Chains A and B, each alone.
Chain A
């Protein structure tokens, strides 16, 4: 590797927490990136990926973390010794950053044009008219439609993909030498993700930018990286060219990460446990009508949005039905209607033969226990003030179970989901994300349900934890014969856990059938498109080789 072209060099970087007994977060991290090259930092949450990038741009949260030793050189200039003023000059002009969540990374009260303009106003001395031309040009480069309108739009008027394009346009306005992209596509749908990755590649080639790309998604690594650094607990455990790391991983940890990536090839269906149909949904509809408020008499009635439109499916005991689709396709609304957390505006939801779609809250109560939910974010779905035991027994006690019996059952369930018995007296914040999701599953099981609705239940988890939780779902299905309605945007996850798959687009069913058929031989163009753009499709992670 030639050394004269190196844009970023990080050498023996050590970052610690700022408190009485400092804990190391980065333990001597070293890597470098050349102009025009993409380096992927991969690793699970807490491995130090984001801390590495924030240290580089000098945006470590000042009260809690600090760099204690090492060097971070941008074109030979040590950034750790740069003054705040110098760092401000470099940020935006020589190094730029795009973040994970395009929904929150843009200021909601300033127009897009203004937010781009201030980068130029801050770093250059060009006139207002020139700046406007430059901004419009940047918006055009990221292939946004109707750029004049975009210029005066506010972030809430744009889609997630458009916002991320704007973030990219903003980052590349002054043609920085280094672009840091911190999980820039994690919050996006596969189709949008594919487009954004293509765009970053295209602009990088055009401007010769060095890209530090942070991701936990091995699929994305396959699609974008030139070289890879694998991080674990604040250290780089392996680095090298992408092909080499993916095909001949030296470290056991890297091998684990790779083999944990679920395969896109659907698993064979499990033998049916019995013919009992536990959930039967027919012609389900949910229309959201805008609130008219107190002054509804003075206004014309407005047309509503059909979030779920004529959806029908059946679920037998012991089976898993995957509902897949992009954000806004109506998956979560469907789940909430089935749970009767919201009332459907049409159709029938039968649980064990009983239609619950029209029941009032009193007559619904006996049926609530039959259908339980596991939510996406394990950090927010458990009450932080209740111990795990209290959370687990609350439901059964509400249905008349004596406290002692409920507690015994809770202990059994915790053991079943692989948690230590003393977990019962602890609080949610004392557990990791994966453990909390296990607790959430135990809580659902405590009600002895016939159906569990899992709404993106593994999306917030790291790939190795994800594999464990998926295995747990499989295990509880084998034991209890509970049926699972598994909502996910991730086709890899769907392929590994589902017997049947239902693909949704704009509230409607596009394709529905056995997983092997829908994912293995898709008939609908939309399903095919979803599979085509799934990241890392060209690589077979389990075989450490390109996909055949």
Chain B
């Protein structure tokens, strides 16, 4: 177990090095949610009804959730599809590396990238849009676990969906459709309280809507809470939902993941492989 963690850590460091050396990818991955935030804040000037929370603050929280999802879900799915195509996965599968170490490395990667993304968006919100940093230690703590758990959940879902594209060329197209739909349903582009009640109830089954609600509870004033489903922020529901999706994503990943070889879960035909009476010495 100790060596799995050690190898996973090394793998994570290698992944992070690799990511940060592709400077154009780093800049554009980090910039996408930031640019969207700046655009939305420039386009919309409403205030949430019954509060004096401006649109820019709402969008800051929404794009924090969206940013975690894009650095985890999208980049993970695309990166794995590329590794599968280039033979990198197959090469790893040919070594004695514990398979779980690979996923530990991926989790380390998405968490580091998500923390950086959140810090960037928070900084933009604070500097340009009068977002107030979390007021209490408890809220900072909530910000931390939301980010860690949220990126882990979106990361495993990215791993699960990475087996869907037939090649790395089609991966961005295949991954972006469900991602954009998810973002709309989760109130990232259109504030959640503006969606119909039916959509809100449905979306709260999805992890991204819950993550976005979590970020609203960290950064928006308590007066905003009456716009949520149920009229309050439900931290426990967020936690339960994310943990459930973590399990779902993990199970789906285990069942769908391919190392670029035959699917790992097809049972091997043991009867045919056992040495027969004429044992091979």
Question: Is B one of A's binding partners?
Answer: no
